[in-house]
Chains A and B, each alone.
Chain A
Amino acid sequence: MKNSMQIFTRPWIWSWLAAGLVFTMTLLLTKGQGAGGLAYAALSFGSFAAIVGLGQMLVMTLGPGNVDLSIPATMTLAATLGLKVMNSEPGNAMLGLGVALLAGLLTGGMNVLLIFLLRLPPIIATLAASLVYQSVAIWSNRGLRIKPPETLADFATGRLIGVPNVAWVALILSIIIWIVLERSLWGRWLLASGQNLRAARLAGVPVQSVRAVTYIVVAILASVAGYLLASFSGGAALNMGSEYLLMSIAVVVIGGTSVAGGFSNVPGIWGASLFMFLVVSMLNSYGAGAGLRMVLTGTIIIFIVIAASSRRGRL
């Protein structure tokens, strides 16, 4: 009994419950038809949200004021450069991935420079820098839509044991980040810095390096997401990242990661990512128009946040 109650004190449970509820409600309408297809689609589209959400989660764990607003620009830039270098030729997939990762490394490094060397607040630094990345993407892309190599496109849209390949990639990344957070020294340092920066510094944690590495990791994750998304959807578009700005923050918070910092929550990211896709598809299948869909999505997000925070209050 105690164990079964304890599960409700886990911060990630709410996003999973919400995702499950929405999933069930969609199936009630279709009388159970298309359950597999819906789950498959949710896993595919949820993966991209999960990957950028993981990065945003790490940054937000650093404490209030830490957020990366350059994620969409980094995604677009990495995807654009990656696809350009591959030039739709088969056998270039790894080269493209390398270039995309390099782009992520560079944007992350640039963010770090602005935040630490120029001591800009992260919100404003990543915002200003993202304008520059966007420009580079526009300049290198010139409105061309280069198709990904066929093998890569097949991989991105393919499946293994019934689960989309992109979901496997996202899952592996999540597990790595989970282990790093829970088991490695660096993960402990990150959590400590988020909980109390001053105390962590006095305890000998290299706070600045921890923060710098985090801002680079988020950019690299964003570049992976951009690369995969472009391969998945048949090319890079200049606005491909735009919806992931709000999405990345929303999945972190719905997932139960503390906005005050110091507490990460990997499983919650997945629940929230699936939920964010499922809620839109539920409202779609109930025939809600675009306006109503947005109003309800917003309302539901706020209610989940209220539910999650009042639970924290009781503890």
Chain B
Amino acid sequence: MANKTPLYQAHVDAEARIVDFGGWDMPLNYGSQIDEHHAVRQDAGMFDVSHMTVVEVTGAEAKPYLQYLLANDVDKLQVAGKALYSGMLNEDGGVIDDLITYYLTDEHYRVVVNASTRDKDLAWMENVAQQFAVSVEERTDVAMIAVQGPNAIDKAQSVMTDEQKAAVAQLKPFVAAQAGSLFVARTGYTGEDGYEIMLPDEQGIDFWNQLQAAGVKPCGLAARDTLRLEAGMNLYGHDMDETVSPLEANMGWTIAWEPAERDFVGRKALTEQKQAGAARKLIGLVLEDKGIMREGQEVIANGEVVGVVTSGTMSPTIGKSIAMARIKRDINEENLLIQVRKKQLEAKVVKPCFVRKGEALV
């Protein structure tokens, strides 16, 4: 029996195409995923992200625990509500998951991890927690809605009370605030401005319907994937996993090397890898020819396979196929060949960030 989010009935009522995603029955699209994609780039769209796992980390040693658990340093979080993106690594420096941590107080942090990795994440977090005076507890009573797009903030605020509006009015990017029953974070996974909003599960459908009435378009996982790929954001299990280090997944910026005396899980392995140079790197590709790059396709340079596509799609914003690929570090060609089914097609190597705030960057 698949898990269902508090918003499930709203998706069924809207005749969404429902698929299994990491054990959850989730909306893939509500009609056209391309229309949904454009709504987020040009106006406002919303996603049910209630399947993601919310974990409350509380206790006297909440801070030192997270400083040891995560490659990024929660000491950077000094203002209540501030968020931090980080990898949670194993001892080999491989990525167990990528996650966001919200700072509430020195003894209370809220961590949001991926749905598909819930079980192993919780097991790992609990295991590491044994060395600290800390409690790690999953929340199962929240709905989460991501409202994204150039008009997302205006439209989301239009369904808030005056008190709630006041609480979020000054919210800076990557900061969250409690606004009545809403926990509103100015974060997202689309490359557009907007909010990710947590609220009590029983209020979820009503809030979703209010947003829809305010002109926010329901969007499914399919649009979420093309949006995040255009924005150059990694998807766990595709662009990185436990066999890949952050240095090989464009996540070097999420490793806090300083202060040098802070130990964290995976630090030793990462330090060695950094000194030797990571074997592989994650690049962006734009297909020059017609066709579509897909995950798993081989990347070829000088007649030799030098890597593999980790995520690929047709970019609705650019109108060409875009992809991320992991290739050998010493390959510096401007163009590479991609084995697309029976043909080898030429792709241009770019920084893996294709679209930001509605504008094509490649």
Q: Do A and B bind each other?
A: no
Residues of B within 8 A of A (CB): none
